[in-house]
Amino acid sequence: MTEKFTGSFTQQEPIPEDGINAALDVLRHGRLHRYNNAAGEYGEAALLEQEFAAQVGAKYCLAVASGGYAMCTAMRAVGVKHGDQVLTNAFTLAPVPGAIAAVGAEPIYVEVTEDLVIDLDDLADKAAMADVLLLSHMRGHICDMDRLMQIAQDHNLTVIEDCAHTMGASWNGVPSGRFGTFACYSTQTYKHVNSGEGGLLISDDPDAMARAIILSGSYMLYERHLAAPPAEAFDQIRYETPNISGRMDNLRAAILRPQLRDLSVQAARWNALYHAVEDGLRDVPGLTLLHRPDKEAFVASSFQFLLVDWTPDAVQDVVARCLARGVELKWFGGAEPTAFTSRYDSWRYAPVPKLPRTDRVLQGILDMRLPLTFSTDDCALIARIIRSEVSAVYQSQT
């Protein structure tokens, strides 16, 4: 009998009871706005910032409305202006180049490797073209951060890390996000913690974070933050920095705080799902698994594999056959944007360069979410289905 998977690739776990109870407390007292506090009280947003800063070892943290807003704010805070160029990975999701365009800058795309990380040789070649790199740890894959930061140092390149897919991950024991001037995290539903929408921004730079806090819409209430620079950091910045409001509210912060406390436990669960799929796809003819360096400690909320040098029709055949058996694979090589997948040549608000190495990789990438509503048995079944359909299409092509 042909096996079929019947689970949902978009169904997340419920919010933890502690988060629900904290959210109900906020709803009952009605002080949802982050600066609407009772006497002697610090709101949920301020507490969230304090706790996340401690969790990742950062001096400062700011909770905002979305991961995209965090990226825009970080770029503005380090001085990116209209007409500037900003380096970024050619393989990423549309909000990354979208954030660059939103501040009036122009994305300069850097090639990616078959391990789905930024091509450091190409970065070294292009580093002199810009003052800022918005580095996307796309789909949770972390490049050699020691070499990347050496390139940045050699070229006086400011690094902003997009850690939307690497919350809780690390490189060589250093938490993801602790290499650049800023790191941006997302708390959107399909990320590692879930508040529907939301973002977090961390930094050790007092001037840059002071600008970010004013940008986020603090007015002159920045002293109500628990993970902010000292008041004197704002002395001049408060006069020079516009308010572009994008605050996180206390309701979302209340939902997030218990989830962050459980992040290491959840990370282990995600990685167990990842390894169940990986083990089931070893040694499939025509299918390439990704190399994960020993220095990379990842948190795998999704899974990727490559069908290198397959024709578009053959890749689409695999996608269709797997979908017929309940397994939803997303292809990043399609000529037209579909759902959340799109290629750099779809983002026509920016120049489209020739990136042959990236084109080859994109044509073969297949991507799959791994929600924690799955079990390892579910993932073993999913792997059997993918193995079967990839093998069938591969044999028909050879």
145-169 per-position pLDDT tens digit:
999 999 999 999 999 999 999 999 9
All structural domains of the chain, each given as residue ranges with its CATH number in brackets, are 17-261 (3.40.640.10), 263-397 (3.90.1150.10)
- pLDDT tens readout for residues 359-371: 999 999 999 999 9
At 161, the amino acid letter reads: E
Structure tokens at 143: 């490049």
Please, what is the angle between helix 263-280 and helix 250-261, to 10°?
A: 60
Which residues lie below 8 Å from residue 189, measured CB to CB, with a gap of 6+? 12, 196, 197
Assess contact for 288 and 307: CB atoms under 8 A.
yes
Query: Helix (H, G, I), strand (E, B), or coil: what is residue 185?
Result: strand
Q: What's the pLDDT score for residue 1?
A: 65
How many angstroms separate the CA atoms of 201 and 69, rounded?
10
Provide the residue-wise pLDDT of the chain in tens; the chain has 398 residues: 699 999 999 999 999 999 999 999 999 999 999 999 999 899 999 999 999 999 999 999 999 999 999 999 999 999 999 999 999 999 999 999 999 999 999 999 999 999 999 999 999 999 999 999 999 999 999 999 999 999 999 999 999 999 999 999 999 999 999 999 999 999 999 999 999 999 999 999 999 999 999 999 999 999 999 999 999 999 999 999 999 999 999 999 999 999 999 999 999 999 999 999 999 999 999 999 999 999 999 999 999 999 999 999 999 999 999 999 999 999 999 988 998 899 999 999 999 999 999 999 999 999 999 999 999 999 999 999 999 999 999 999 87
How many angstroms separate the CA atoms of 111 and 114, rounded?
10
pTM of the model: 0.97
How many angstroms separate the CA atoms of 54 and 388, rounded?
46
Q: Which residues pair with 110 in a beta bridge?
A: 89
Q: What's the pLDDT score for residue 335?
A: 87
Assess contact for 371 and 13: CB atoms under 8 A.
yes
Phi, psi of 192 (to 5 degrees): -80, -25
